[in-house]
């Protein structure tokens, strides 16, 4: 009887915790600025106000008539039918636990728009359901298209004025450049150019690689290399060279004929596109995609080399009243200021990412639990003592943990979220550690 009574009490505790967690989740669900929809067996049965607004749903009674097909065009940009491709993502979410993908949506007014969708599997007492968090990426896509168009314009301009040509005369020991190449190197027109002068202009970090490529070309290999050059004024350009050796009948290298293209702007645009793909557009912190990549690398280091990596999950306390009282523009400014404040305390290898809403996550390589707790406490104090624009002071709750060799990203983040949950429900404005216990990943693979 005593055993049965203990088991009954434990069940009550678990059920009470589930109810508390559900209430917390419902509040987040209602207040989220991102569209959230729940569906089961392919049908939507609930969504938050943000989803109603995004999909132009005028009457909540319409929800029961909607599914992923009615909120999508017939086909996706890939050419695949939406119902077929959608089922692939649904099955993946059910098997793996969550999946992130790009999707073409359609609201009830018939407007198509690109979106980023995160599908989560939720195992509830009533059965398994899927949560879809949908973010309209129209603005991001427009920016990306503008950048791609600028890159295409640049490539077209380079095709027209396209390349500078050069000839390296081995018998005379000199290199003849066309006018455009003198400009690329920042050298005066007509200056006598030798191989030594050319190598002196090459960026010091690239010289060995360029010389190796040149020596290989002298043995018959293709000469195709990208490298930097330093102008006399200190500015740096990135050039792409191609060349071919002309040999005499007896096999002696007579000269090398080639072209050079200035690809500095192209490289800058590529870096900008890459940066935008991994960066939160509001705060400038890394986004969830980049964090997911880095935590997988950290888990691999933990398993192979036992390298300790710490995680901190930070959530602003009472952030909803900030938005309700001052408006979302002020709330956004708070997030920007908070990001800048956190970044002042980070080391070079540390990574800060916006986890979602007012939550931020930090990944710190070569860091133990004690050191991470110390940093988290310092961040908590800095935030509490900082005067934010318009709103004044705010506080934050933080959860701390370290990666274990048995972890996967799902189990480590679940443990970290539980620590943050305890911090929020123990009075807020505090740091709670998740004990570094070995945990078996409960996410299906």
Strand arrangement, sheet containing 431-433: 351-356, 359-365, 309-316, 396-402, 431-433
Q: Choose one of 269, 295, 310: the last residue of a domain.
A: 269
Any domain includes 276: no
Q: Choose one of 105, 136, 167: the last residue of a domain.
A: 136
Q: Which two tokens stand for residue 261?
A: 């293209």
Q: Which of 150, 90, 143, 94 is nearest to 114 (CA)?
A: 143
Any domain includes 443: no
Residue 48 main-chain phi, psi, to 5 deg: -90, 170
Residue 296 has pLDDT above 90, yes or no: yes
Residue 360 has pLDDT above 50, yes or no: yes
Residue 399 makes CB contacts below 8 A (sequence gap 6+) with 312, 313, 416, 417, 418, 419, 420, 421, 422, 423, 431, 432, 433, 434
Any domain includes 224: yes
pLDDT at residue 290, as a whole number: 93
**H-run or E-run covering 370:** helix 369-385
pLDDT at residue 440, as a whole number: 60
The proportion of the chain whose per-residue pLDDT surpasses 90, expressed as a percent, equals 65
- 400 or 156, greater pLDDT: 400
Q: Which of 43, 21, 47 is nearest to 34 (CA)?
A: 47
Same domain, 262 and 288: no
User: What pLDDT band is residue 27 in, cutting at 50, 70 and 90?
Assistant: low
DSSP state of 355: E
Q: Which two tokens stand for residue 393?
A: 């002071």
User: What pLDDT band is residue 24 in, cutting at 50, 70 and 90?
Assistant: low
CATH of the domain at 42: 3.30.450.20
Same domain, 192 and 260: yes
User: What pLDDT band is residue 26 in, cutting at 50, 70 and 90?
Assistant: low
Same domain, 121 and 250: no
Q: How many other C-beta atoms can be found within 10 angstroms of the C-beta atom of residue 396?
A: 27
Residue 262 makes CB contacts below 8 A (sequence gap 6+) with 158, 184, 237, 238, 239
pTM > 0.85: yes or no: no
Segment 49-60 shows an average pLDDT of 90
Q: Choose one of 269, 304, 337: the last residue of a domain.
A: 269
Look at 4-13, 170-179, 261-270, 322-331 and tell me which has the smallest mean pLDDT.
4-13
Residue 191 has pLDDT above 60, yes or no: yes
User: What pLDDT band is residue 391 in, cutting at 50, 70 and 90?
Assistant: very high
Summary mean pLDDT of the chain: 88
Segment 304-310 shows an average pLDDT of 92
pLDDT at residue 445, as a whole number: 46
pLDDT at residue 2, as a whole number: 33
Counted domains in the chain: 3
Cβ-contact 400, 423 below 8 angstroms: no
CA distance 213 to 440: 50
Segment 231-250 shows an average pLDDT of 94
Residue 12 has pLDDT above 80, yes or no: no
CATH of the domain at 372: 3.30.70.270
pLDDT at residue 435, as a whole number: 78
Segment 371-398 shows an average pLDDT of 95
Same domain, 242 and 287: no
Look at 192-206, 231-245, 267-281 and tell me which has the smallest mean pLDDT.
267-281
Query: pLDDT by residue (tens digit) across 115-126?
Result: 999 999 988 888
Same domain, 124 and 262: no
CA distance 384 to 400: 18
Q: Which residues are catalytic?
A: 358
Angle between helices 264-277 and 138-160 (to 10 degrees): 170
Cβ-contact 308, 403 below 8 angstroms: yes
pLDDT at residue 314, as a whole number: 97
CA distance 2 to 6: 6
User: What pLDDT band is residue 154 in, cutting at 50, 70 and 90?
Assistant: low
pLDDT at residue 123, as a whole number: 87
pLDDT at residue 161, as a whole number: 54
Same domain, 314 and 420: yes
Any domain includes 395: yes
Query: pLDDT by residue (tens digit) across 112-151?
Result: 999 999 999 988 888 899 999 999 998 888 888 887 788 6
Any domain includes 25: no
**H-run or E-run covering 305:** helix 288-305
- 93 or 7, greater pLDDT: 93
Cβ-contact 310, 402 below 8 angstroms: yes
Q: How many other C-beta atoms can be found within 10 angstroms of the C-beta atom of residue 64?
A: 11
Segment 262-290 shows an average pLDDT of 91
pLDDT at residue 256, as a whole number: 95
Domain residue limits at 108: 32-136
Look at 309-313, 353-357, 440-444 and tell me which has the smallest mean pLDDT.
440-444
Segment 319-342 shows an average pLDDT of 94
pLDDT at residue 166, as a whole number: 93
pLDDT at residue 15, as a whole number: 52
Q: Which of 2-6, 150-154, 175-179 has the highest mean pLDDT?
A: 175-179
Cα-based distances in Å from 143 to 34, 67, 134, 183:
20, 30, 19, 31
CA distance 374 to 431: 9
Residue 236 has pLDDT above 90, yes or no: yes
Query: pLDDT by residue (tens digit) across 30-43?
Result: 888 889 998 888 78
Same domain, 129 and 245: no
Residue 18 has pLDDT above 60, yes or no: no
Segment 264-288 shows an average pLDDT of 90
């Amino acid at each position: 009887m005593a055993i049965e009574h203990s088991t009954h009490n434990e069940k009550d505790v678990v059920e009470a915790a589930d109810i508390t967690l559900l209430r917390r989740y419902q509040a987040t669900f209602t207040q989220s600025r991102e569209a959230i929809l729940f569906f089961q067996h392919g049908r939507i049965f609930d969504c938050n106000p943000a989803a109603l607004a995004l999909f132009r749903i005028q009457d909540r009674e319409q929800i029961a008539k909607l599914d992923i097909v009615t909120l999508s065009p017939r086909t996706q940009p890939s050419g695949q039918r939406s119902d077929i491709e959608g089922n692939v993502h649904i099955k993946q979410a059910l098997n793996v636990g969550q999946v992130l993908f790009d999707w073409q949506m359609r609201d009830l007014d018939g407007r198509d728009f690109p979106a980023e969708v995160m599908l989560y599997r939720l195992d509830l007492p009533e059965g398994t359901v899927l949560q879809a968090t949908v973010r309209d990426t129209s603005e991001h896509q427009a920016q990306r298209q503008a950048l791609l168009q600028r890159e295409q314009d640049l490539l077209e301009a380079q095709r027209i004025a396209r390349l500078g040509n050069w000839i390296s005369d081995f018998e005379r020991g000199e290199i003849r450049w066309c006018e455009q190449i003198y400009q690329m190197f920042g050298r005066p027109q007509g200056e006598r150019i030798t191989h030594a002068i050319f190598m002196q202009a090459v960026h010091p970090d690239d010289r060995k690689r360029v010389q190796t490529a040149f020596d290989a070309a002298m043995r018959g290999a293709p000469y195709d290399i990208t490298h930097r050059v330093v102008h006399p004024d200190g500015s740096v350009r990135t050039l792409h060279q191609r060349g071919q050796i002309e040999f005499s009948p007896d096999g002696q290298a007579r000269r090398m004929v080639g072209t050079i293209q200035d690809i500095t702007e192209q490289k800058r645009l590529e870096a900008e596109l890459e940066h935008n793909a991994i960066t939160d557009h509001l705060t400038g912190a890394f986004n969830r995609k980049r964090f997911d990549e880095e935590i997988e690398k950290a888990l691999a280091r933990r398993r192979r080399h036992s390298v300790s990596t710490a995680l901190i999950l930070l959530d602003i306390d009472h952030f909803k009243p900030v938005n309700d009282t001052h408006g979302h523009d002020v709330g956004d400014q708070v997030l920007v200021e908070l990001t800048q404040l956190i970044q002042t305390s980070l080391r070079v290898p540390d990574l800060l990412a916006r986890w979602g809403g007012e939550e931020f996550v930090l990944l710190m390589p070569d860091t133990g639990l004690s050191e991470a707790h110390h940093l988290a406490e310092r961040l908590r104090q800095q935030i509490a003592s900082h005067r934010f624009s318009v709103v004044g002071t705010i506080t934050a709750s933080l959860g701390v943990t370290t990666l274990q060799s048995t972890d996967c990203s799902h189990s480590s983040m679940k443990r970290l979220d539980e620590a943050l949950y305890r911090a929020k429900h123990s009075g807020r404005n505090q740091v709670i550690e998740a004990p570094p216990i070995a945990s078996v990943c409960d996410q299906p693979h």
